[in-house]
């Protein structure tokens, strides 16, 4: 019964099922979203409450909410930083989170306060092991 969840090798992950992609051109910036496993478990996403540009976020703390048809889930910031962009397309098309969790369904981009925090995140193989336990 277990679905075959996509876990791209080039991303970092949290145990709360967020992913983080470090920007190649601006290595102090990173894009954040929720994983394929997460979107499948919350179900149809119908509304998102995301932090606006300029907000500070702290690693491990709630920075947004993901409302699905059946439940509401917290979005946790993987790292400390300041929001430099939020995905405005999700306002009218929250279903992008389900359709393309690692692509058009991205949620926020942050300027990281301390790139050393990336060492605390999971790599793809560690994250795969985590969701295997579910």
Partner 1 sequence: MTEDGGTGAGRGLRQLTLRDRHEALGARFAPFAGWEMPLQYQGIVGEHHAVRDRVGVFDVSHLGRALVQGSQAGPLLRSVTTFDVTRLVPGKAHYSLYCNEAGGIDDDVFVYRLAGERWAVVHNASNADQDFDRLRSVFGDDASEITADTAMLAVQGPDAMSLLGSVLGDAVAGLEMRSCVELDWRGGQVMFARTGYTGEDGGECIIGVRQAAALWDALIEGGASPAGLGARDTLRLEAALPLYGNDLDAATSPYEAGLGFAVTLDDGAPFTGREALAEARDRPRTRRLAHLVARRRGVLRTGYAVHAPDGGDPVARLTSGSFSPSLRLGIGMAYLPVELAKTGARFDVDVRGRMLPVEVVRRPFYRKSRE
Q: Are 86 and 51 in contact (CB under 8 A)?
A: yes
How far apart CA 87 and CA 2 sit, in angstroms, is: 30
Please state, in angstroms and rounded to a whole number, the distance separating the CA atoms of residues 98 and 66: 12
89 near partner 1, rule: CB under 8 A: no
Q: Does 18 bind partner 1 (CB under 8 A)?
A: yes
Candidate segments 50-58, 61-69, 81-89, 116-124, binder of partner 1 by CB under 8 A: 61-69
**Contact between 129 and 7 (Cβ < 8 Å):** no
Q: How far is the CB of 72 from partner 1 (least distance, A)?
A: 7
Rule CB under 8 A: which residues touch partner 1? 1-2, 16-18, 34, 38, 40-44, 46-47, 49, 65, 67-74, 91, 95, 98, 134
């Amino acid at each position: 019964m277990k679905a075959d969840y996509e876990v791209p090798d080039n991303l970092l992950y949290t145990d709360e099922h967020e992913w983080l992609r470090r920007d190649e051109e601006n290595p102090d910036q990173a894009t954040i979203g929720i994983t394929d496993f997460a979107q499948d478990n919350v179900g149809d996403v119908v509304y998102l409450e995301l932090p606006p540009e300029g907000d500070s976020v702290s690693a491990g703390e709630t920075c947004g909410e993901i409302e699905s048809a059946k439940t509401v889930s917290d979005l946790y910031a993987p790292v400390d930083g300041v929001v430099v962009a939020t995905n405005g397309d999700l306002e009218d098309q929250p279903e992008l989170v389900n359709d393309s969790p690692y692509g058009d369904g991205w949620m926020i981009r942050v300027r990281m306060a301390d790139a050393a925090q990336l060492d605390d995140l999971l790599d793809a193989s560690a994250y795969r092991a985590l969701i295997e336990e579910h």
